[in-house]
Structure 1
Amino acid sequence: MPKFETRHKVRHAAADMFALVADVEAYPKFVPLCEALKVRGRQSRPDGSSVLIADMTVSYKVFRETFTSRVTLIPAENRILVEYLDGPFRQMENRWTFTPLTEKSCEVGFFIAYEFKSRTLGALMGAVFERAFHKFAGAFESRADEVYGV
């Protein structure tokens, strides 16, 4: 199963980076391959976390697929967990962590493991997804610079 993991230091507070990644509705503006994102539902929990169900449409040339995920936002732990529910994958797991380094900087951790249901689709899109994941950290950091300043 393909996996990608990175840790990257950024000049933004952990809470700011958490908020930026948690704002999934903004993804079509800056996330590679993300054409559309719709939140179907959102539920707040007593512990301060929240869970949302979201449909994300990714597209590249003639390829266009929508998949559904459960996103758990845990601000007290600076963590975001994404669980795959439906779509072109056999399975997918995604985690974000935001570790404070100073008041105005943090380390962003990103992990994803995925497997397409179709071998053909996996062979066709595997390299494209791999390149996109390598661009994710840069896309979020650039968005943070735009939203929060440098």
Structure 2
Amino acid sequence: MPRHHETRVLPYSDEQMFALVTDIERYPEFLPWVIALRIRSDSEHEAVADMIVGFKGLRESFSCRVHKDRPRTVTVSYIDGPMRHLRNEWQFAPVEGGGCRVDFMVDFAFRSRMFEALAGQMFDKALRKMIAAFETRADDLYAAGRAMSSDGRSSSLSG
């Protein structure tokens, strides 16, 4: 049963990171292995989505509920699909001097022993690739909008 927790400090605001993580409709544009996504419902506090993920000829679909507590927390809970359980949490906290601390946790288990074995072998690599995809997406969306100094040079929010 893979479980992982990671903390990063990024030069973007908690509101920016919250917006990126809750823009689930865009996941197929930047997240590896996300082939398709359908939003069933979406409101300020909750979304329900169906996602198809694929890797090396294997495809699975699952449904999840995304709980949103702007701008601090996003919690993903599993509805149905090939897993026994899935829980994913994002927490965003402003840091002194600008930017925010991002705490990310994922915990899941597949029903299929084959998928569980594959997940165990590839979990760390896949997770690193997924986290890097979120960071790259944040850079693509927000790096140009960082504060500009009076002489026109970019000024990082992280100091």
- Fold conserved between structures, TM > 0.5: yes
Partner residue in 1 for 2:26: 26
Deviations 1:110-139 (A, max 9, x none): 101100001122112332343221222221
2:59 aligns with 64
Aligned match of 2:99: 105
CA distance in 1 between partners of 2:19 and 2:43 (Å): 17
Task: Give ranges in structure 1 of 5+ residues lacking alignment.
Answer: 45-49
Structure 2: gaps (5+ residues): 145-159
- Go from structure 1 to structure 2 and tell me whether the alpha carbon gap of 1:39 and 1:123 turns closer, same or farther (over 3 Å shift): same
Partner of 1:130: helix, strand, or coil? Answer: helix
Cα pair distance change 1:115/1:16, threshold 3 Å: same
TM-score scaled by length of structure 1: 0.89
CA distance in 1, matches of 2:129, 2:91: 17
Deviations 1:10-39 (A, max 9, x none): 111111000000100111111121111111
Query: What TM-score results when the alignment is normalised by the length of structure 2?
Result: 0.84
The structure with the largest alpha-carbon Rg is 2
Q: 2 CA distance for matches of 1:102 and 1:135?
A: 28
Give the share of equivalent positions with the same residue, in percent: 38
Tell me how many residue pairs correspond in the alignment.
144
What is the root-mean-square deviation in Å for CA atoms of aligned residues?
A: 1.5
More strand by share: 1
Report 1:41-60 matches (<5 A): 41-44=41-44, 50-60=45-55
Are the counterparts in 2 of residues 8 and 137 from structure 1 also a CA contact under 8 Å?
no
Runs of at least 4 residues off by over 3 Å? none
